[in-house]
Structure 1
Amino acid sequence: MDAVEPPLGTVRLFADYAESVIWFPGMVDYGESALSPELVRDLEEWKGKQLSDPDSDLEGFGLACRVADELGGEFEVDFQVDGRADRSIRSQSPASNKAAREAFLGFVAQEREDEVLQANLRESASLAEWYPVTSEPKKRRWFGRFRG
């Protein structure tokens, strides 16, 4: 039996007062996600319902399945209610939305670049501390404060 490859990352789906319900690892702007317009519309409608009626879990689960289908089996989707993961979903099929898959692969690449940069900054004897200037994945830049 073939071993199942671990996911490249976990996309979290939960309604909050942020602009998007998609998190990977931080909030993902719908425009940068390349998810289909129909899915984005349905996610926004669900967000409004979820904030006013937290019992709309079944609809959220269906949306999480749709996100998983668009991204394909390389990604896992956690459907979250009240900040806790209720279920992890992973498609068994290739991505139905190639643009969304490519966008999230780009987020993975950015995270890996950030990890290498962080490791290099930690090893640098001249830097006392470092932190991200912004948490937006595609716009993240690092700042280091030199030792005095």
Structure 2
Amino acid sequence: MSDLSPYATSIVRLFPDSAGTVLWFIDPVPYEVASLSAGLEHDLRAWEQSYEDALTDDFEWRSDALASQYTEDGRSLAHRLAHELGGDFAVEFQSYEDGADALNVRISAPADNPDAAAAFAALADAARAEHDEMRVARAEHEHARAVVRAEGGPDGGPLYWSATAPDASDRPEPVATISGELTTMMNVLGLQPADDRVLDAIDLVGGLSENSVFEEGDLTVLYLTARDAGTDFLFENRTLASVIIRTQPQAKYGAYPRPDALIDGLSGAATRAEVVARFGVPEWTSATADRFVVDGRYLHVEFDGSGRLVRITLMVSAP
């Protein structure tokens, strides 16, 4: 996973873009969050309005003089903002005027506006925390792989994960069947993110809280996460390869909102014995997990120290 961008932690950008603010810290920062002085906020709003007034309906400058004035005012405002934020933050301004030089200014002095500096420091802390949570999410996905890699396949052979959904002829022979809300998740394996059936599955968890993309060689991995609902949808090269569902809260995740409705006949805190009784002998097992072939897909079930169900991973292909 790539390092966190300085545009989320230490560089504030200044530009108008129809966002209701000209302050950007990766995302637009509302003025009520930024805690700037009243005078600076007023002048930033006026600058954005003057920019809009300086453009034609075709978004061209009405005159070179207006373009130059926009740049001059922007540079002045960037310096004022830098003084309010102090030395912990740089302010970057790249004018829309053709040929104008970019400005990056950092003041070697304490903040003139401690409230504004504290507001942006809080945003930076939140960005770092979210970045760390993404690392946790990535690690949790790798956990399922690591478990089976450590144990080896059922026949001791090599282990792999497929980034491409197999066609029906490649699916494993079904050993068990399933009913309950988990069937919706299972049926969308192998589909693409914009498929209506995937969107229906996302609706089951109440929508997404975040998304992230990772590059791993030739593989592009997209995570769609519903953190409060304890669910990750993992796409490999735009194909839904796995769905991770937590039936109990874990490591900055909540639990699936209706764990007892996931699998008819099993509670969200079922014992390992109850899971085996429901699905039969697992086709692979380890100290803390069992894997079953269910409706032609793989169901990887993990248990806590007391032998209770804590996490389910649905997979197109087994390692």
Q: Structure 2-normalised TM-score? A: 0.39
Q: Going by fraction, where is helix more abundant, 1 or 2?
A: 1
Instruction: Render the CA deviation track for 1:1-51: whole Å, top value 9, x for unaligned.
Output: xxxxx9951000001211000000100000000011110100000011122
Residue equivalent to 1:61: 75
**1:71 equivalenced with 2:72 (yes/no):** no
Distance 1:36 1:15 in 2: 19
Match of 2:138 in 1: 122
Candidates 108, 114, 123, aligned match of 1:92 = 108
Give ranges in structure 2 of 5+ residues lacking alignment.
1-5, 55-66, 145-188, 190-207, 212-224, 227-231, 234-242, 245-313, 315-319
Query: Could you list the runs of 5+ residues in structure 1 that have no partner in the other structure?
Result: 1-5, 136-141
Q: Give the CA RMSD over aligned residues.
A: 2.9
Larger gyration radius, structure 1 or structure 2: 2
Higher relative CO (Cα under 8 Å, sequence separation at least 6) belongs to: 1
Write the mapping of 1:1-148 to structure 2, written as runs, cut at 5 A: 8-53=9-54, 54-55=67-68, 56-82=70-96, 86-125=102-141, 133=209, 143=226, 144-145=232-233, 146-147=243-244, 148=314
Q: Once the 2 structures are TM-superposed, how far is the Cα of residue 124 of structure 1 from its aligned partner?
A: 1.0
Contact persistence 1:16–1:51 (CA under 8 A): no
Instruction: Show CA shifts across 1:74-103 (max 9, x none).
Output: 100001223997110111211000000100
Number of residues paired by the alignment? 135
> Percentage identity across aligned positions?
30
